[in-house]
């Protein structure tokens, strides 16, 4: 594994830092008819991520407040904080790169103290794309995930990408080391791109740090007292991406 003091680690957000895709959850909960077809067009390579987001956002009923409420219900991988801390302690740079609606990326990253590049919804309720790169040959991304990797490489950094979805494919063509799951892993298999499979961020932790991550703090079990109780309920230069299909991640 690379020398972490000269390594820049880029983590996708939806499905990588979070355990499910917040955008998909929002659309499943609040999306008006039509979003599934737009999503299919994206997964199958007919439109880029910026166009998907621009077309889907007006289909979200209830606006930004309702959407953010749904997005906040999506759990964060408990390995995120320990991984970010350990990487920074070892001298690595850590950045979250997210090409979704950007509803909770900033608040989740702020808690851990990690930098993020993300689309966002402004005070007028409009989607904004501060990290698009119109010079990128693909020019269709919301957040261009290739641009920060190129920039890190120019500085002589070894680059690591951790991702799961369609929006990570172009970045995977540039990164030195790739950790992939779900759609991204399938795409890497098809495209002949070398990667390390992972399921949770603790797997990435183990691989990059060479040791087990600290155990996540579980809430203590309630002690079984002598008194009987009620029974408990069971408890991107951007190459065009190849089309691919995976439910629930993008």
Which of Mg ion, Zn ion, none lies near 236, with the C-beta cut-off 5 to 8 A by kind? Answer: Zn ion
Of the pair 77, 164, the CB lying nearest Mg ion is at 164
Does position 79 bind Mg ion by CB under 5 A? no
Does position 141 bind Zn ion by CB under 5 A? yes
Dist CA 31 CA 25 (whole Å): 9
Query: Quick one: how many helices (H) and strands (E) in the chain?
Result: 10, 8
CB of 97 vs Mg ion, minimal distance in Å: 10
Which of Mg ion, Zn ion, none lies near 47, with the C-beta cut-off 5 to 8 A by kind? Answer: none
Does position 12 bind Mg ion by CB under 5 A? yes
Long-range contacts of 212-217 (CB under 8 A, 24+ apart): 213/79, 213/82, 213/83, 213/86, 214/82, 216/78, 216/79, 216/82
Q: 208 near 87, Cβ under 8 Å?
A: yes
Which of Zn ion, Mg ion, none lies near 138, with the C-beta cut-off 5 to 8 A by kind? Answer: Zn ion
Query: Applying CB under 5 A, which part among 68-76, 85-93, 128-136, 209-217 lies near Zn ion?
Result: 128-136
CB of 55 vs Zn ion, minimal distance in Å: 18
Does position 53 bind Zn ion by CB under 5 A? no
For Zn ion, which residue of 4, 112, 143, 238 counts as binding (CB under 5 A)?
A: 238
Binding mask 152-171 for Mg ion (x = CB under 5 A): ------------xx------
Nearest to 207 by CA among 181, 240, 241: 181
Q: Angle of helix 35-43 relative to helix 22-30, nearest 10 degrees?
A: 150
Dist CA 134 CA 38 (whole Å): 22
Beta-strand relationship, 196-197 and 7-12: unpaired
Q: 95 near 39, Cβ under 8 Å?
A: no
Query: Applying CB under 5 A, which part among 27-35, 81-89, 102-110, 129-137 lies near Zn ion?
Result: 129-137
Q: Which 136-155 positions form the footprint of Mg ion (CB under 5 A)?
A: none
Structure token digits, residue 196: 């390390």
Does position 244 bind Mg ion by CB under 5 A? no
Binding mask 184-223 for Zn ion (x = CB under 5 A): ----------------------------------------
Residues 6+ apart with CB under 8 A from 157: 6, 7, 8, 93
Does position 136 bind Zn ion by CB under 5 A? yes
| Extended beta strands in the chain, E state | 7-12, 93-98, 115-118, 120-121, 127-128, 158-163, 177-180, 196-197
Does position 23 bind Mg ion by CB under 5 A? no
Of the pair 25, 118, the CB lying nearest Zn ion is at 118
Q: Which residue has the tokens 């698009």?
A: 132
Applying CB under 5 A, which residues contact Zn ion? 136, 138, 141, 144, 146, 236, 238
Applying CB under 5 A, which residues contact Mg ion? 12, 14-15, 164-165
């Amino acid at each position: 594994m690379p020398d972490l003091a000269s390594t820049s680690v880029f983590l996708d957000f939806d499905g990588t830092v979070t355990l499910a895709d917040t955008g998909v959850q929002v659309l499943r909960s609040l999306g008006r008819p039509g979003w599934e077809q737009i999503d299919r067009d994206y997964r199958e390579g007919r439109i880029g991520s910026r166009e998907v987001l621009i077309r889907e956002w007006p289909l979200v009923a209830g606006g930004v407040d309702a959407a953010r409420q749904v997005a906040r219900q999506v759990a964060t991988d408990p390995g995120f904080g320990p991984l970010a801390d350990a990487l920074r302690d070892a001298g690595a740079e850590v950045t979250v790169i997210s090409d979704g609606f950007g509803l909770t990326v900033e608040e989740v990253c702020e808690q851990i103290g990690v930098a993020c590049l993300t689309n966002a919804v402004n005070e007028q309720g409009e989607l904004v794309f501060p990290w698009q790169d119109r010079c990128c040959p693909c020019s269709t991304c919301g957040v261009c995930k290739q641009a920060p990797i190129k920039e890190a490489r120019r500085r002589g950094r070894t680059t690591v990408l951790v991702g799961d979805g369609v929006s990570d494919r172009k970045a995977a063509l540039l990164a030195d080391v790739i950790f992939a799951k779900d759609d991204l892993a399938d795409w890497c298999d098809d495209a002949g791109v070398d990667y390390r499979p992972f399921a949770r961020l603790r797997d990435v932790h183990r691989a990059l740090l060479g040791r087990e991550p600290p155990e996540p703090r579980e809430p203590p079990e309630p002690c079984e007292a002598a008194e009987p109780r009620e029974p408990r309920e069971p408890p991107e230069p951007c190459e065009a991406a190849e089309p691919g299909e995976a439910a629930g991640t993008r």
